[in-house]
Structure 1
Amino acid sequence: MAAFVTKRLALALLVAIFVSSISFSLMFLTGDPAIAIAGEGATEADIEVIRRTFGFDRSFAVQYWDWISGAASGDFGQSFYFNQPVVELLAERMPVTATLAVFSIGFALLLALPLGILAAVKRNSLADRLSLALATVGQATPSFWLALMLIVLFAVNLRWLPVSGADTLAHFILPSIVLGYYASPSMMRLTRGGMIEALRSDYIRTARAKGMLPRTIILKHALRNAVLPVVSVAAVEFGFILGGSVVVESVFSLRGIGYLAWESIGRNDFPTIQAIILVYAMIYVCLTFLADVLNAWIDPRIRVA
């Protein structure tokens, strides 16, 4: 197990270094960042002052080293637009996005696992077809459209839930349903496929021959093997929810990291954009690493291979 964890950790570090270089390079892909910061009508003298002030006149390697060494210590620089340390902006907005992501992945699992198990146990039945149809609709429905429909129904017409803000947990119900429903189809299909394969296995037939209860066979034996790919996908979907919350946060006026990214892109706030990309990438790498370790712990065959 230690060797497996060491190999996965080394791979995660290599990915982190590669992603950090890409995220830093994005600032230079659109041209000279000093010109973008100066804006229209700026003179050459103004651009040169900005270039010297922010250190854009130095070599790329020197700029990257200063940035990555500062980021390693929690210093992402100063926001151009908000005029405050980027780390403070992230600390203010991250709790909103993290709460939204946890609720969303929780709703997705609560929806996907039971439906996947039901579809596998009742294969080719009406329940199976309805579950697959629900998954197809969830993957095809635009998140912004579903968000607007839920607002109209539950906030405007029924007045059960608040429309916007993040003051209470009730404010996260509708956006969590939107993101969770969009993330559930892949997990539901994997659960169904894994359960169908597991229920055909010899050890399941042996368990049935011993007279075990169907509930014990399904939940204790079959589900343990069927859930392995779901763990990996859930980690990936959690990362996608964190990075893809821009639209939902905008619709529900949740001032999280996604909304901050939208604001920063529209205002050429490069330090904030770089920090958000790097933080999201590191979260994604960590989640993937933890999913690999958890899968290896659940199924010893993985770490032996």
Structure 2
Amino acid sequence: MLKYAAKRLGMGLVTLFVLATATFFLMKAIPGSPFGAEVSQMSAAAVEKLYEKYDLDKSIPEQYVIYIKNVLHNDFGESMTRKGISVNSIIAKALPITAKLGGVAFVFSMVTGIVLGIIAALSKRQWVQNSVMIFATVGVSVPSFLYALMLMTVFGVILQWLPFIGLKTPLHYILPAFSLSLYPISMVARLVRSSMTEAMKQDYMVLAKSKGTSPIKLIVKHALKNCLIPVVTYAGPLVAYLMTGSFVIESIFSIPGLGGEFVTSVTNRDYPLIMALTIFFGAFIIFTNLVSDLLTAMIDPRIKLEKRKAA
């Protein structure tokens, strides 16, 4: 397992290097000045000084070398649109906000999805099974931003039951977290239902039933463990979805998190912030996928990580 983890970590670092390089050259390929109309109102000397500050007066290869060196030292420089504020400080301020929202959405997605999946698999009432599966189908079919707009309009504007701007109180988390959770809830419910249905047909489950094992013990001790394997495997992609899904959700609900900062940086052409957030998101997704794979191996010893192809 250590050999596999080290191999995946090495591949992750290579992926990050490629991502950082691609992001740099894509930013340089965008036509026009990153400062927009701002430079038209400045003197030639002021413009020259501004370009020197961000190393834009140097050649592309020189800029690239400086950029890579700064990345290795975790120095992404100063924001181009917020004078005097470093990119690292912007990320440090926004990260806890996104982490809280993502954490709430992750826990809610997992718990609700597992419960719905178990209900759909074990219920003897056809309408219950159909209701859960219809919900799951709709959940994976409709984009999260449509849920967000509908929930905000109904519960925030029309009924005025819930606040929908920012994250000032626990109530502010309900609408954005629910909007962000509907897709993963549906995915987890489908995974658990399929795994639970298959597990209940296994010989060891039939044997446990014949020995008079209580239904609750049967589910918790025997069936649920096997059902959690695909759920844990999905945890990595789930975190990636919550992270990228926050781009739109945070913008809709005016949440000053990393997703909102990324959208704003792209709109304002804040190149240092764009490149820093791209690398941060890439590193986070690579790390969570690695942790997900290792947890899967711990739950199911039959999986031999050393023989698996690195993702």
**Alignment partners' CA distance in 2, 1:190 and 1:161:** 31
1:187 touches 1:234 (CA, 8 Å); kept in 2?
no
- Secondary structure at the residue paired with 1:117? helix
Q: Show the counterpart of 2:63.
A: 63
- Secondary structure at the residue paired with 2:302? helix
1:190 touches 1:229 (CA, 8 Å); kept in 2?
yes
**Alignment partners' CA distance in 2, 1:71 and 1:292:** 27
Instruction: Give yes or no for the alignment of 1:54 onto 2:63.
Output: no
Instruction: Give yes or no for the alignment of 1:214 onto 2:215.
Output: yes
Q: Show the counterpart of 1:245.
A: 246
Q: Show the counterpart of 2:296.
A: 295
**Alignment partners' CA distance in 1, 2:62 and 2:195:** 50
Q: Show the counterpart of 1:27.
A: 27
Q: Show the counterpart of 2:275.
A: 274
Which residue identity is paired with 2:161? W
Which residue identity is paired with 1:80? M
2:229 touches 2:296 (CA, 8 Å); kept in 1?
yes
Residue 99 of structure 1 deviates from its aligned partner by 0.9
**Alignment partners' CA distance in 2, 1:298 and 1:251:** 38
Gapped regions of structure 1 (runs ≥ 5): none
Report the number of matched residues: 303
**Alignment partners' CA distance in 2, 1:266 and 1:240:** 22
Instruction: Give yes or no for the alignment of 1:37 onto 2:35.
Output: yes
Pair 123,13 (structure 1): closer, same or farther in 2 beyond 3 Å:
farther
Pair 227,150 (structure 1): closer, same or farther in 2 beyond 3 Å:
same
Cα shift readout 1:230-284 (whole Å, capped 9, x = no counterpart): 1122221222211221221122111111111121111111001111111111110
2:98 touches 2:258 (CA, 8 Å); kept in 1?
yes
**Alignment partners' CA distance in 2, 1:172 and 1:112:** 19
- Secondary structure at the residue paired with 1:302? coil
1:112 touches 1:187 (CA, 8 Å); kept in 2?
yes
Taking only aligned residues, the RMSD between alpha carbons, in angstroms, comes to: 2.6
Cα shift readout 1:56-113 (whole Å, capped 9, x = no counterpart): 3545454334323323333111110012100011111111111111111122112211
Q: Percent identity?
A: 33
1:106 touches 1:180 (CA, 8 Å); kept in 2?
no
Instruction: Give yes or no for the alignment of 1:194 onto 2:195.
Output: yes
- Secondary structure at the residue paired with 2:35? helix
Of residues 56-65 and 79-88 in structure 1, the stretch that sits farther from structure 2 once superposed is 56-65
Residue 147 of structure 1 deviates from its aligned partner by 2.0
- Secondary structure at the residue paired with 1:245? helix
**Alignment partners' CA distance in 2, 1:21 and 1:227:** 38
Q: Show the counterpart of 1:116.
A: 117
**Alignment partners' CA distance in 2, 1:229 and 1:65:** 42
Of residues 157-166 and 93-102 in structure 1, the stretch that sits farther from structure 2 once superposed is 157-166
- Secondary structure at the residue paired with 1:300? coil
Pair 31,211 (structure 1): closer, same or farther in 2 beyond 3 Å:
same
